[in-house]
Amino acid sequence: MADAALRRTPLHDLHAGLGARMGGFAGYDLPLSYPAGVMAEHLHTRAAAGLFDVSHMGQVILRGERAAEALEALVPVDVLGLAEGRQRYALFTNEAGGIEDDLMVANRGDHLLLVVNAARKEADLELLRAGLPESVTVEPLDRALLALQGPGSEAALAALAPGVAGMRFMDVATVTLEGTEAWVSRSGYTGEDGFEISISEKAAVRVAEALLAQEGVAPAGLGARDSLRLEAGLCLHGHDIDAATTPAEAGLGWAIQKVRRTGGDRAGGFPGANRILRELAEGSERRRVGIRPEGRAPMREGVELYDSADALAPVGRITSGGFGPSVGAPVAMGLVPAALSEPGTRLHAELRGRRLPVTVAALPFIPSNFKR
Amino acid sequence: MKYTEEHEWLRPEGDLVVVGITSHASTQLGDVVYVELPEVGTVVTQGDEIVVIESVKAASDITAPLDGEIVEINEAIADEPGKVNEDPTGDGWFFKIRPTDMSQLDAFMDEDAYEAMTG
């Protein structure tokens, strides 16, 4: 149902024409699924290519001498060492060591391009403006963002812009696509090879239609995006990670390069550095883990986890979960005490008043398929 | 065949009533991935939540449309929940109930009324 308070992306009419079921997400009216359905869209993305409208996400340009150095005061990652034409995963942290948002940072030569979560756009802009010196300008962009994901992505995009075939995972480049300038990165949120494509709002429909016309490309909605990222073991901010979850707890230590860790040349110097670096060295009390319910019943966010069938108090909870179409079974992620985080550990989840067995599992649930 | 406002269909079969969800409901739910059925022998009251149905999107409850006893359940949909989408009014049936009072059926919609409701 149309909700006037929701914002629309430039592809709104295209979604309607494709018969999408729309729904509100982070203040935007977005396609949850198309007539094929979540399951088919998910499986098609893993087998061929899915096209997602992710224009709700925030795109921000940082410009100015020493922008990279300045940004390092807000994120625990190596921005200075990020080569031109490369992108890296990053986190905005707070003084308590929690995660305010997760984002991508690309070095595009004379500027940095940040892609942040839709729900955190305003908060992130505030954090950037408060935390960066005046010499660095913070410019939010009104641009469309498409994600083309799946093993067929390269062939589909290269048919329109041959240069992208030479890109590796996490490369960024500017190409011409259907006559418009496109900022392309070889990345995504599905565990598959693929591209994220930033284009002007007025070119969005033209580019989306050209991609949908390629063999093997089908539209996919937010439902499939969520089940794909869940199987790939990727965090969703506000669910698996939040302001009260630290990088070590979230298993995101890999995102913090040596140079920012204790003993590194630029160790610390970001919000929450004391706790974050201590936990990376010594371990955290809780850990994000994969969870495999033993039965067929999906277990979703908020389901509490117990260390035995009759324990009174929960030891953890599921942070996101559902059915994994490629796994063919329910899958979930949760936060549990470090002592119970080894794959194979058996726990109990309380679902509708019953304790059901679950097993801690390694992430991701399906092997990733990136072009390194 | 009768229909409830909760999108169940009820088909009398001798002194039993077969219950499932409508094609409209199965389309709205999306791909069904799990169905939890009541145990055979359960005595239910109209409005009791007796079935949990999970799609890729969310979990929903199905309530008992009539007072009575559950006499048979469709084990096949526990193993292959996709049948609920493929054939909601046939192979995708949920359970058979022996109603205490068959006249409770009269209160439900006929096909025309149901179609008018779902537009």
Which among A40, A223, A298 is the nearest to B34, CB-wise? A298
Tell if the CB–CB gap between B33 and A223 is shorter than 8 Å. no
Q: At A165, is the secondary structure helix, strand, or coil?
A: helix
Which among B34, B36, B56 is the nearest to A227, CB-wise? B56
- Residues from chain B contacting residue A32 (CB–CB below 8 Å): 57
Between the alpha carbon of residue A261 and those of residues A29, A89, A276, A338, B93, the distances in Å are 41, 16, 9, 21, 59
- In terms of CA atoms, which chain A residue is nearest residue B37? A297
How confident is the model at residue A3, as a pLDDT?
59
A353 to chain B, closest Cα gap in Å: 13
Per-residue pLDDT of chain B (119 residues; tens, 9 = 90+): 999 999 999 999 999 999 999 999 999 999 999 999 999 999 999 999 999 999 988 889 999 999 999 999 999 999 999 999 999 999 999 999 999 999 999 999 999 999 999 98
Cα–Cα distance measured from residue A40 to residue B59, given in angstroms and rounded to the nearest whole number: 19
Cα–Cα distance measured from residue A291 to residue A341, given in angstroms and rounded to the nearest whole number: 10
Instruction: Give the DSSP letter string of A11-39.
Output: THHHHHHTTPEEEEETTEEEEEE-TT-HH
Tell if the CB–CB gap between A297 and B57 is shorter than 8 Å. no
Q: Which residues of A touch B (CB under 8 A)?
A: 32-33, 37-40, 42, 223, 227, 296-298, 300, 322-323, 325, 330, 352
- Domains within chain B, CATH numbers bracketed: 2-101 (2.40.50.100)
- In terms of CA atoms, which chain A residue is nearest residue B51? A352
Q: Which residues of chain A have pLDDT under 70?
A: 1-4
Looking at residue A125, the DSSP 8-state letter turns out to be H
Whether the Cβ atoms of residue B85 and residue B92 lie closer than 8 Å to each other = yes
Contact with chain A for residue B75, Cβ under 8 A: no
Give the mutation candidate from B29, B31, B53, B62 for the A interface (greatest A CB count, under 10 A). Answer: B31
- Residues from chain A contacting residue B29 (CB–CB below 8 Å): none
Element (H, E) at A356: strand A354-361
Tokens of A35: 């007539």
Cα–Cα distance measured from residue A56 to residue A200, given in angstroms and rounded to the nearest whole number: 13
How confident is the model at residue B107, as a pLDDT?
95
B34 to chain A, closest Cα gap in Å: 6
Contact with chain A for residue B57, Cβ under 8 A: yes
Query: If 0-12 CB within 10 Å is exposed, 13-18 middle and 19+ buried, where does residue A285 land?
Result: exposed
Q: Which amino acid is at B85?
A: N
Cα–Cα distance measured from residue A254 to residue A347, given in angstroms and rounded to the nearest whole number: 27
B116 to chain A, closest Cα gap in Å: 19
Which among B30, B54, B78 is the nearest to A298, CB-wise? B54
Tokens of B104: 């409770």
Tell if the CB–CB gap between A38 and B57 is shorter than 8 Å. yes
- In terms of CA atoms, which chain B residue is nearest residue A221? B57
Q: Which amino acid is at A359?
A: T
- Residues from chain B contacting residue A323 (CB–CB below 8 Å): 33-34, 54, 56
Tell if the CB–CB gap between B78 and A352 is shorter than 8 Å. no
Cβ-based contacts under 8 A for chains A and B: 43
Annotated binding residue A209? no
In terms of CATH architecture, what is A285-372?
A: Beta Barrel (2.40)
Tell if the CB–CB gap between A330 and B34 is shorter than 8 Å. yes
Tell if the CB–CB gap between B56 and A352 is shorter than 8 Å. no
Tokens of B26: 């199965």
- Residues from chain B contacting residue A33 (CB–CB below 8 Å): 30, 57
Cα–Cα distance measured from residue A289 to residue A319, given in angstroms and rounded to the nearest whole number: 10
- In terms of CA atoms, which chain A residue is nearest residue B33? A323
User: What ipTM describes this predicted complex?
Assistant: 0.85
Sequence ranges of the domains in chain A: 12-56+142-231, 285-372
Task: Quickly name the fold that domain A12-56+142-231 has.
Answer: Gyrase A; domain 2 (3.30.1360)
Between the alpha carbon of residue B91 and those of residues A54, B18, B75, the distances in Å are 38, 11, 11
